[in-house]
Structure 1
Amino acid sequence: MNGFSRLVRQTMTIARRDFVATVFTPTFLLFLLAPLLMLGFGTIGGLGAATMAKSGDAKSRIVFIVGGEQARTVVAMDKQLRRMFRTSEQPSDLIVEAPSANPRAQAKALIDRKGVDTYAVLYGPLERPQILHVENAPRSAEYLAELASQVLRAERAGTDAPLSEATKTVVSRTTTSSSGQGQAAFVSVFALFLVSLMLAGQVVGTMAEERSNKVIEILAAAVPLESVFFGKLLGMFGVALLFLLFWGTVVVNLGANAASVMPPRLAAGLSEIGPAVGLVPYGMLFLAYFVMAYMLLGAMFLGLGAQAATQRELQMLSLPITIFQVAMFGFAAAAAANPDSWVATAAELFPFSSPFAMAARAANSPELWRHFAALAWQAMWVIITVTIAARLFRRGVLQSGSPKIRRKKVVAATS
């Protein structure tokens, strides 16, 4: 058996040991179901926020002080203008009130009325209307001003009915839109960040735990330290892959069932979101970049965890690790938003942000040659990072390797 075969066999032995020790434990089930718990808490928080927002919207309004025939025209024009807004972007409910003897005092009283939020009030002649509005509602004031202008146009035209009837024809895109590709790029970066945040950080604790109970010293005495590091990285990657296979199957099944009951308008909107390289190549590239992102971040975290002697030191490392991951996410997200900028090039070249940025590149651009070069570049940095981590651990923690240099210096000095 040559040296390379022995190295591979030793690496796989360490990987199998870590994989079995992690998966065949009761806590792994909690780890596997962690996204379900996160989704549950997120849903509860989202429902609470939505309830508060709806209760606030129900109490908000804008007021148009006008009387006579103009009041009916205001209501008709308001209905026409609201058709141009999305449901979530529509102005507050319009209330039409007859003017009093002092319209300005009436408008001020409406703004100050308790129990209801009045954002803006219009009063006075429509040729020169006066609008009172609160500080954070300039758009409500603009809407009332445009509504007054439309009412005057309707009066001069002699009708409040639409002056033209357009024929609207729905057509389907044959390709994904540019905005859809941009959305797919951001989703790619976010998905890689999310899974790497949940999975890659696990490797930090494995080395620190085995260092504290002296197991790492036994392993280092039996096999090369590079095999230990590569083996642990591969073992924890197997755990991450099992996690992804489980949740990937769940998401695909849920997505297939949801597509059959999805509203046509929502389905049409989702159909415009897609990667530029195509779904099949994108799926393969996304998996490849997940492997590279996990290996790169995992190798770096493995080296950091190997330097931690206690759990307190490990906890202190968790904050810088999280900040680094968030920084890589922000770097790659900026690259996804500007695919042809220097930021994108820098993010694609920097090893630890390269998988995220290149996943976004697959969504934004149909070119494939960049990805082969990027994967080779990232694989090289995985080897470099693991090698550096192993050497730092050998010289800094095990304190071996460097004495040879000192002995050579001593021999040279005596000769």
Structure 2
Amino acid sequence: MSSPTMTSIARLIRQTLTIARRDFVATVFTPTFLLFLFAPLMMVGFGAVGGGAAMSITKSGDDKARVVLLASGDQARVAVAADRRLRQMFRPIEQPARLIVESPAANPEAQARAMFDRKESDTYAVMYGPLDKPQILHSVNGTRSADYLAALADQVLRAQRAGTSAPLSEATKSVVTRAGSTTGGHGQAAFFAVTALFMISLLLAGQVVGTMAEERSNKVIEVLAAAVPLESVFFGKLIGMFGVALLFLGFWGTVIVNVGSLLPTKLATAFIDVGPAVGLPMFGLLFFAYFVTSYMLLGAVFLGLGAQASTQRELQMMSLPITIFQVAMWGLASATALSPDSGLATAAAAFPFSSPFAMVARAANSPELWPHLLALGWQALWVAITVTVAARLFRRGVLQSGSPGLRRRKKAAA
């Protein structure tokens, strides 16, 4: 025969899973869930529209930007060839303004100053005079353009003294593939992981806050609390909404993997140096584990807030400080992403609400695995503490003040 303790535990688990199934079905099998599921697609669409508009504005500005060299004859020809070679060292987004070569007038200084007043173009810098001691005029935001013109003058003088505008050396370039990711790649992976964990945790855990507030407003929560232990109600709702989060992640994970396989090879090789120190398979498991603990911690806090709020206005006012607090936790973990052994990183890993972010950054920077076992146990403990505290606050603060009939029934039963 089973002991009374085992029977109570089994009943508690069964009640918790019943609440979880109820919330999962009530959330997923609704038309609004489709809007929630495709919300990232709408966000990406709006971002693409805004980014396209910003790029068009930037491109229109770049088309008008220019730097000017007042030179003629062989000097102008050599300058154009040197400018073509120098631009090969810049990435497209870092290219200097377009070079315009004009013949100098009788008064080059006045000619150079007049170019800044032309309305059809944006002149950042103008160079005139002998190239061994050139004069460069530039606008307030044209310092780098002036530096580029100075480097161009140096290259033109070297070419003239060598007697040719052709390159003086011909290098042989070979691609070397690294065996693993670099230290800088570890830091980039840590920052990307912290940001991704923060975004999906905040997006998905925020769905928990409305469930409790809605059921409190229509008195369903009091019926559940009378039939099921309140801890089971809180844990069940948390598990049910976590199932919704897994469905969301599974859908978008499948989409991202299939779309990623269609990306150009050149774009994929841009991230070849980015990678976690523990290896990609282990990092995936740790990232999922820290998502679970981060979701449970944040979801438990939101669940407690939803239980305390009686109106949507109170709900919004109480949710905002928690969101700001989570942004601060993300900022703390991001600041320690490149220094996992610092004192600040240790403090971030020890504080329960920043621990998932700090430890996923540590997984990207350090190959050691044993600290993650301690961190996951520590975070699981705080999930239980947070849910228990939220349930007790709801029982003592809300049910006793808002449900006198329930108190009378309890006293009569006693």
TM-score calculated relative to the size of structure 1: 0.93
Report the residue type matching 1:163 in the other structure.
Answer: L
Structure 2 residue aligned with 1:356: 357
Task: Report how many aligned residue pairs link the two structures.
Answer: 397
- 1:160 is displaced (CA, Å) by 2.1
CA distance in 2, matches of 1:290, 1:131: 56
Structure 1 residue aligned with 2:287: 286
- 1:337 is displaced (CA, Å) by 3.1
Instruction: State which of 27, 30, 38 in structure 1 corresponds to 2:32.
Output: 27
Structure 2 residue aligned with 1:96: 101
Which stretch shows the higher mean deviation, 291-300 or 62-71?
62-71
- 1:342 is displaced (CA, Å) by 2.1
What is the DSSP-based 3-state SS (H/G/I as helix, E as strand, rest coil) of the residue aligned with 2:16?
helix
Structure 1 residue aligned with 2:180: 175
Report the residue type matching 2:213 in the other structure.
Answer: A
CA RMSD of aligned residues (A): 1.4
- 1:4 is displaced (CA, Å) by 1.5
Report the residue type matching 2:41 in the other structure.
Answer: L
Report the residue type matching 1:186 in the other structure.
Answer: F
Report the residue type matching 2:324 in the other structure.
Answer: I
What is the DSSP-based 3-state SS (H/G/I as helix, E as strand, rest coil) of the residue aligned with 2:99?
strand
- 1:319 is displaced (CA, Å) by 2.1
- 1:394 is displaced (CA, Å) by 1.1
- 1:181 is displaced (CA, Å) by 1.5
CA distance in 2, matches of 1:344, 1:78: 47
1:139-218 alignment, distance < 5 Å: 139-218=144-223
Please give the per-residue CA displacement for 1:266-303, whole angstroms capped at 9, x wherever unaligned. Answer: 33222221111111111111111110110010011111
Which stretch shows the higher mean deviation, 151-160 or 181-190?
151-160
Report the residue type matching 1:247 in the other structure.
Answer: W
CA distance in 1, matches of 2:308, 2:268: 50
User: Unpaired runs of 5+ in structure 1?
Assistant: 401-415
CA distance in 2, matches of 1:164, 1:99: 32
CA distance in 2, matches of 1:157, 1:83: 21
What is the DSSP-based 3-state SS (H/G/I as helix, E as strand, rest coil) of the residue aligned with 2:374?
helix
Instruction: State which of 136, 142, 145 in structure 2 corresponds to 1:137.
Output: 142
Report the residue type matching 1:66 in the other structure.
Answer: A
CA distance in 2, matches of 1:110, 1:305: 64
What is the DSSP-based 3-state SS (H/G/I as helix, E as strand, rest coil) of the residue aligned with 2:69?
strand
CA distance in 2, matches of 1:143, 1:195: 44
CA distance in 1, matches of 2:73, 2:38: 64
What is the DSSP-based 3-state SS (H/G/I as helix, E as strand, rest coil) of the residue aligned with 1:168?
coil
- Runs (4 or more) in structure 1 with deviation over 4 Å come to none
Note if contact 2:338-2:365 (Cα within 8 Å) is conserved in structure 1. no
1:324-339 alignment, distance < 5 Å: 324-339=325-340
Note if contact 2:302-2:319 (Cα within 8 Å) is conserved in structure 1. no
1:1-400 alignment, distance < 5 Å: 2-258=7-263, 262-263=264-265, 265-399=266-400
Report the residue type matching 1:182 in the other structure.
Answer: G
What is the DSSP-based 3-state SS (H/G/I as helix, E as strand, rest coil) of the residue aligned with 1:351?
coil
TM-score calculated relative to the size of structure 2: 0.93
- 1:246 is displaced (CA, Å) by 0.8
Which stretch shows the higher mean deviation, 153-162 or 139-148?
153-162
What is the DSSP-based 3-state SS (H/G/I as helix, E as strand, rest coil) of the residue aligned with 1:112?
coil
What is the DSSP-based 3-state SS (H/G/I as helix, E as strand, rest coil) of the residue aligned with 1:397?
helix
User: Unpaired runs of 5+ in structure 2?
Assistant: 1-5, 402-414
